């Protein structure tokens, strides 16, 4: 099986709609991979506009969204923010990622995060901030296995968030 990151395009539409359907009532992560009150085509255009500082929506930083693919299917999704604003420095970090429910606990998140780190390096990001909820032991383990160095945790609304840095 071959794994790779690929930017979403029209050719992924049916597979992507199937991907998000699998999440059912759970919160799709990363947030950038949610299609809320829009068509796939509108979501796709939004992702393309977010890649440039000139076209990113107000109050957003430039970001690239990638599908984590195997030979046949979308396994997950990752969002790489090219820079951080104050809110992302506290709660979001440079990289947000999620694995579809049927593919969890199989080691795919680590593969996806390593590929995302390569992409972030190509964007010139030398120190990568990644955060996760303190009760998300799988994500904590993935971040640490990819070289994440724990910095601190803080309380955000109703839960604690862990902050990790990876030297890229």
DSSP classification of residue 34: -
Domain holding 35, by residue range, is: 4-125
CA distances in angstroms from 57 to 38, 51, 83, listed in the order given: 16, 10, 14
On the question of pLDDT at 47 being above 90, the answer is yes
On the question of pLDDT at 59 being above 90, the answer is no
Distance CA 113, CA 9 (A): 21
Give the predicted TM-score (pTM) of the model: 0.93
How many distinct structural domains can be found in the chain?
1
On the question of pLDDT at 1 being above 80, the answer is no
Q: Does residue 140 fall inside a structural domain? A: no
Q: Does residue 137 fall inside a structural domain? A: no
Distance CA 80, CA 107 (A): 20
**Average pLDDT of span 134-157:** 95
Q: Does residue 146 fall inside a structural domain? A: no
CATH of the domain at 111: 3.40.630.30
pLDDT for 57 equals 81
Q: Does residue 41 fall inside a structural domain? A: yes
Q: Does residue 139 fall inside a structural domain? A: no
Helical residues (DSSP H) of the chain, grouped into ranges: 13-22, 40-49, 86-87, 108-122, 137-145
Query: Per-residue confidence at 60, pLDDT binned at 50, 70, 90?
Result: confident
Neighbouring CB atoms inside 10 A of 70's CB total 15
Q: Does residue 150 fall inside a structural domain? A: no
Q: Does residue 153 fall inside a structural domain? A: no
Distance CA 59, CA 45 (A): 18
Count the alpha carbons within 13 Å of 52 in the hemisphere toward its beta carbon.
5
Q: Does residue 149 fall inside a structural domain? A: no
Which residue would you say has higher pLDDT here, 146 or 56? 146
Query: Per-residue confidence at 122, pLDDT binned at 50, 70, 90?
Result: very high
Average pLDDT, the chain: 93
Lowest-confidence region among 36-45, 49-58, 72-81, 158-167: 49-58
């Amino acid at each position: 099986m071959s794994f790779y990151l690929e930017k979403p395009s029209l050719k992924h539409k049916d597979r992507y709609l199937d991907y998000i359907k699998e999440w059912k009532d759970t919160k799709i992560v990363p947030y950038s991979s949610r299609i809320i009150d829009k068509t796939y085509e509108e979501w796709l255009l939004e992702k393309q506009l977010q890649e440039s500082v000139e076209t990113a929506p107000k109050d957003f930083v430039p970001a690239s969204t990638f599908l984590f693919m195997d030979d046949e299917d979308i396994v997950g999704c990752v969002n790489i923010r090219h820079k951080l604003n104050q809110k992302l420095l506290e709660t979001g970090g440079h990289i947000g990622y999620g694995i579809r429910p049927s593919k969890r606990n199989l080691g795919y998140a680590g593969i996806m995060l390593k590929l995302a780190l390569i992409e972030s390096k190509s964007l010139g990001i030398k120190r990568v901030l990644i955060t996760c909820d303190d009760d998300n032991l799988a994500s904590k383990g993935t971040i640490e296995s990819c070289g994440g160095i724990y910095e601190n945790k803080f309380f955000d609304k109703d839960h604690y968030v862990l902050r990790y840095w990876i030297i890229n």
